[in-house]
Amino acid sequence: MSAGAPGHPHPHPHLHPFDAEAPGVPGAGRTIADGVIELDTLLGGWEHVTAGYLIEGPEPVLVETGSQSSVPVLLAQLDALGLGAEDLAGVVVTHIHLDHAGGVGDVARAFPRATVYVHQKGARHLADPTRLVDSAARVYGPLLDSLYGRLDPTPPERLHVLEDGEAIRVGPTRSLVAVDSPGHAKHHVALHDSLSGVLFAGDAVGVKLPDAGVLRPSTPPPDFDLDQALHSLGRFAERRPTGIALAHYGLLRDPGDVLDEADGTLRRWAAVAESAFRNGEDIAAALDSAFQGDMAGVPEEHLEKLEVMNGVHSNAAGFHRWLSTRTSGGGGSTV
Ligand SMILES: [Zn+2]
């Protein structure tokens, strides 16, 4: 979840909800690796902000549905790929933030044979999204309905809780291996494709929109945990993926460099946040002044997308909560 924190509303005059009749709808996705199709789920009508990935095989699996507002464009693309209602074997979400999982209930309904895979800490919220949606309403404010949509429940018997290391079968020679990867969220799991070698990293590596070209950490409340996030990056590196597929957005083909950069960037952001926190300064302002220069030269329209997906206020609020919780020696966590 990465919208601005409460009290920091951002106007979004350029939102264009998906219109199936409109020109410019992406056709049937784009093959980015052996049997991996990138689907642009067009959050807010923006291209290259939210990605889903279809993993091809005798038992095809979709990674990420995107938000509920993305369901029409997602279903249109799956249909264009020739995927009938009985054909999709599985849907897996890297975590239950609405820009990744908001469409799950709708997609489960459209594909009645598909198993819905989710982290153990996220499963009950897919079955009963009431608390998750309430929490999202507090974070997103009016953007909940104008941009993301909500989340329909998934029947519990359709849910499959993923264990770390568990393999989701896509066919006799292909599986997606679940990699427990908390940090961005406690209910975060990445998927490592045994055939292409691509690691589907959700938000655990950060956000790098192709139109902005800068990798930034994603450290939202309430779960963000620096130590866990760094540990998860280390686990990814150990698996030696051939590429890192970000939910926001696309395949990065230099995984070693990307993971090093993510580690270094996250540590730098955390150092700035911690110093501001200790000095009683505003963390968002400190992050802004330290890192806004990275965005020099990025056109305003692209900055707006980045601010919605990965706003500095959301990151600051996540750092603040993590630092406060650590300082007070514990504390509960909500969705
Ligand atoms: Zn997220």
Query: Percent of the chain at pLDDT above 90?
Result: 77
Give pLDDT tens digits for 85-94.
Answer: 999 999 999 9
242 CA distance to ligand 1 centroid (A)?
Answer: 23
pLDDT above 80 for 6? no
Residue 110 — φ and ψ, nearest 5°? -70, -25
DSSP 295: G
pTM listed for this prediction: 0.91
pLDDT above 90 for 5? no
pLDDT above 70 for 22? no
Give pLDDT tens digits for 163-173.
Answer: 999 999 999 99
Q: Minimum mean pLDDT among 117-126, 233-242, 252-261, 299-308: which range?
A: 299-308
State the pLDDT at residue 19: 44
pLDDT above 90 for 70? yes
- Determine the Cα–Cα distance for residues 118 and 101; give it in Å rounded to an integer: 10
247 CA distance to ligand 1 centroid (A)?
Answer: 9
State the pLDDT at residue 18: 41
> Is the torsion defined by CA of 75, 81, 87, 89 positive or negative?
negative
Beta strand pairing call for 61-63 and 90-92: parallel
State the pLDDT at residue 333: 47
State the pLDDT at residue 302: 86
Give the environment of ion ligand 1: residues with CB less than 5 A: 97, 203
State the average pLDDT over residues 184-191. Answer: 98
Mean pLDDT of the chain: 90
174 CA distance to ligand 1 centroid (A)?
Answer: 27
| Rounded (5°) CA angle 242-101-27 | 65
74 CA distance to ligand 1 centroid (A)?
Answer: 19
188 CA distance to ligand 1 centroid (A)?
Answer: 8
288 CA distance to ligand 1 centroid (A)?
Answer: 20
State the pLDDT at residue 3: 39
281 CA distance to ligand 1 centroid (A)?
Answer: 26
* Residue pair 36/245 in contact by the 8 Å Cβ criterion: yes
pLDDT above 70 for 255? yes
- Determine the Cα–Cα distance for residues 55 and 38; give it in Å rounded to an integer: 9
3-state secondary structure of 33: strand
State the pLDDT at residue 8: 34
Q: Which residues of 268-299 are buried (b: 16+ CB within 10 A; e: fewer)?
A: ebbebbbebbeeeeebbebbbebbeeebeebe
pLDDT above 90 for 177? yes
Query: Percent of the chain at pLDDT above 70?
Result: 90
169 CA distance to ligand 1 centroid (A)?
Answer: 25
Q: How confident is the model at residue 301 (pLDDT cuts 50, 70, 90)?
A: confident
State the pLDDT at residue 21: 44
204 CA distance to ligand 1 centroid (A)?
Answer: 8
5 CA distance to ligand 1 centroid (A)?
Answer: 14
173 CA distance to ligand 1 centroid (A)?
Answer: 30
State the pLDDT at residue 226: 98
pLDDT above 90 for 304? no
For residue 72, give both structure tokens. Answer: 């029409």
State the pLDDT at residue 15: 42
313 CA distance to ligand 1 centroid (A)?
Answer: 14
State the average pLDDT over residues 94-109. Answer: 97
201 CA distance to ligand 1 centroid (A)?
Answer: 11
Q: Minimum mean pLDDT among 190-204, 246-260, 299-313: which range?
A: 299-313
Please report the DSSP string for 250-270 in residue order: EEES-HHHHHHHHHHHHHHHH
